[in-house]
Amino acid sequence: DAGVTQSPTHLIKTRGQQVTLRCSPISGHKSVSWYQQVLGQGPQFIFQYYEKEERGRGNFPDRFSARQFPNYSSELNVNALLLGDSALYLCASSLLWDMNTEAFFGQGTRLTVV
Amino acid sequence: SQQGEEDPQALSIQEGENATMNCSYKTSINNLQWYRQNSGRGLVHLILIRSNEREKHSGRLRVTLDTSKKSSSLLITASRAADTASYFCATDLDSNYQLIWGAGTKLIIKP
């Protein structure tokens, strides 16, 4: 079985640009969560989607948005990029919407904003 | 905001020794999870311990949970070079839809 796949693996963008990151969950998983991890810190929760609906949103500005498609894949969009958006963006899928089950993570997208 | 805080921030031991990492958290939880991360890539789930459990084992890993002290520990026995990684604890909140993470413990196993 394929694990959680994220694309692209690396990305370099210029300040002010927009970026779209993609995630395919494990087959059968209906929940996708997005996390931002700045170097040297733990992940910070951005969004959770379950059955194509937003279940939760972290403390991130409106420049961050996401959606989940009928096949449960997901996209994270970030507009008007800032240098501080440089980070590893992680996608996690799980069977259920609540966090009482194991979350499976992709390898992440390393975003560098210059 | 961070819920969990790992201690120590960094740990360097000889191969074959045991490694112990601690995690403290602030609010009541339903469960606490430990993850491993190699070289800033994806996180790998190690163990989930529920709030009504006190100890859990998985291979060379042992996790304890003390809800009265709001703390957990991860013990890796007979460490190997491949255990070199960062280890994170993550807890859920009442909202249940997100994991709150600590800053991690960086573990280095010296050959």
> B52 and chain A: CB distance < 8 Å anywhere?
no
d(CA B110, CA B16): 9
Per-residue pLDDT tens for A37-48?
999 899 999 999
Neighbours of B45 (CB within 10 A): 17
Q: Which residues of A touch B35 (CB under 8 A)?
A: 105
pLDDT of residue B74: 98
B103 vs A: CB within 8 A: yes
Chain B residues in contact with A43 by the CB 8 A cut-off are: 43, 88, 99, 101
Q: Is A104 on the interface with B (CB under 8 A)?
A: yes
Question: What b/e sequence results for A19-54 when a residue is b if at least 16 CB atoms lie within 10 Å of its CB, and e otherwise?
Answer: bebbbbbbeebbbbbbbbbeeeebbbbbbbbbeeee
Tell me if chain B has a CB within 8 Å of the CB of A103: yes
The reported pLDDT for the residue numbered B1 is 47
Question: B88: which chain A residues are within 8 Å (Cβ-Cβ)?
Answer: 42-43
- Structure confidence by residue, pLDDT tens digits, B6-20: 889 999 999 999 999
Instruction: List pLDDT tens digits, range A50-109.
Output: 999 999 999 999 999 999 999 999 999 999 999 999 999 999 999 887 777 889 999 999
pLDDT at B67: 94
Q: What is the mean pLDDT of chain B?
A: 91
Look at B103 and A41 and tell me if their CB atoms are within 8 Å. yes
Q: Mean pLDDT of all residues in chain A?
A: 94
A26: Cβ–Cβ under 8 A, 6 or more apart, which residues? A1, A2, A3, A4, A93, A104
User: In which residue are the tokens 């996790």 written?
Assistant: B63
User: What was the pLDDT predicted at B94?
Assistant: 61
Average pLDDT rounded to a whole number, residues A20-29: 96
Q: What is the pLDDT of residues B79-101, one digit of tens each?
A: 999 999 999 999 987 666 788 89
Which pLDDT value is given to residue A12?
Answer: 98
More confident residue, A5 or B5: A5
Whether B2 has its CB under 8 Å from any CB of chain A: the answer is yes
Q: How far is A108 from chain B (nearest CA, A)?
A: 6
Contact A105 B42 (CB under 8 A): yes
Dihedral angle sign, alpha carbons of residues B65, B7, B47, A102: positive
- Which pLDDT score, from 0 to 100, does residue A100 have? 76
**Chain B contact present for A10, CB below 8 A:** no
Candidates B51, B88, B97, partner chain A, best to mutate (most A CBs within 10 A) = B97
Cβ–Cβ contact B27 with A under 8 A: no
